[in-house]
Structure 1
Amino acid sequence: PEGYGYEQLGDVTEQGDGEFSIRLRRKATPPLFGGEFNDVLFSVSYETDTSLRLQVSPADVKLERRPLAQRKSRSEKTRKYTVSYSERGETFGVVVTRRDNGKILFDTRLPGTTLAEQFLQISTRIASENVFGLGGAGSKTTLKNDLNWRVTSFFTEKAPNDESNSHSGAHPFYMLVEEDGRAHGVFLNTSYPMDVLMQPSMATFRTIGGILDFHLFLGESPEDVIRQFTELIGRPAFLPIWALGPHLALRGNNISPNAALSLVQKLKSRVFEMVSCW
């Protein structure tokens, strides 16, 4: 609803080590779901010159934050981004832009921000249709995300898979390739079940618990964004050598070991080597 959200309550608190925070209060509008937090804390941490962390959490409730590497950018002059936010009296939102060209990368100046004990929601504008990630759930003909009001659900429990849903595990991360070939990434750090609604001009994140804990990465290329992202969450493990060769999967539940062995021997006799069969 128009006007629904939070507004700035107090002055900006500077931590002096690359962080600042702002206390917010929910605007005097009827609650959507009940149990909304009236007072919340918005905080910004300048992680590196090309990455930052944005958090929104209840001001009077202590919630466990998932520990991640602590890295601080000490110099404002070398940062590749700027952070601004709404004026007092306006519905609160934060804007992250590239310093050199003013390109808006993350913009939450939209109504509808909700923080409740069992429902959190926030939206950001997206400036291009070249959006990738979010579980890879999309068309078979392109790697780009479907922005036609597409909802992707994320669970950390194994669920039945089909071509339109994300697979086991949850990685709420998207990367947007800008018009000049540079890119930026947005990662919502949460283990709670959640939905992401992709629309023609914005993305809406909805989760059922925790806090809103975003990491943004600016890169000169998509590869640069992925490098920063995996530096934060951990590099993929090296594959064992045996996993790099040909594999044969036998579908069905009625295949006996003898039948599988016979098939493997026939293939080997025709100079078709494989490293594993299951």
Structure 2
Amino acid sequence: MQTPPRVLTVAGSDSGGGAGIQADLKTMLALGVHGMSVLTAVTAQNSTGVQGAWELPVEAVRAQYRSVVDDIGVQAVKTGMLATAELVEAVAELLTATDAPVVVDPVGVSKHGDPLLAQSALASVRTRLLPAATVATPNLDEVAQLTGVEVAGEEDLREAAAAVLGLGPRWALIKGGHLEGEAVDLLTDGSEEHWLRAPRLDNRHTHGTGCTLASAVAAGLATGLDVPEAVRRAKDYVTGAIAAGFALGSGIGPVDHAWRQR
């Protein structure tokens, strides 16, 4: 049997299964690629928030990465929660030595507003991690955290994208999901623009959207799609997953990664 494309996620664990490594691997399976993982942190997390987080030692993260890449190989890498400056620096070093497209989801806070990145790590994200990215996928809170640009409406997305591109990624995907009206995102490399629009869905169960989108983009790149097409298909997949999001626990439930299979 033919080996499927291989995608590596470097991220934290969500014990509730809605985001993080768990969401990444579910997305990759749903989109037909083989998902592999480097665990950076463990969280105690459920539908109401993050009750605790513990990062792994740098040597453990580096060993996981080398174990996978040196033997199995990768066609794309996706990063999520990296937690500390030391982990950001180590992962950035590993990425620059890997010949594969990289999707960076610069995770700063959880869906519930819990911090997942130390303030001391922001400089490393700006100067080391984002320059290694083929595509960076910040939400509006992460844009403000990294660049200082506040997005109040769709007209501000170009400024946000320019500020993110100034930090070094080849493409910036600015996610406008927190704006009023339709869900609009802007993908640009500074010379061409792609506006991606979808209706805003009346479903509060949206835990894991950022992880899912970034992983879907990485899956597309691993199969040989160019960046605009990979992002377009990822947006379609996430829109369907949000529409099918379901209640879990007493708080915000997850998107449904298996909505197409159902």
Please classify the TM superposition score into its range, dividing by the shorter chain length.
0.3 to 0.5
Structure having greater relative contact order (Cα 8 Å, sep ≥ 6)? 2
Structure having the larger proportion of residues in helix: 2
TM-score by length of 2: 0.32
TM-score by length of 1: 0.31
Larger Rg: 1
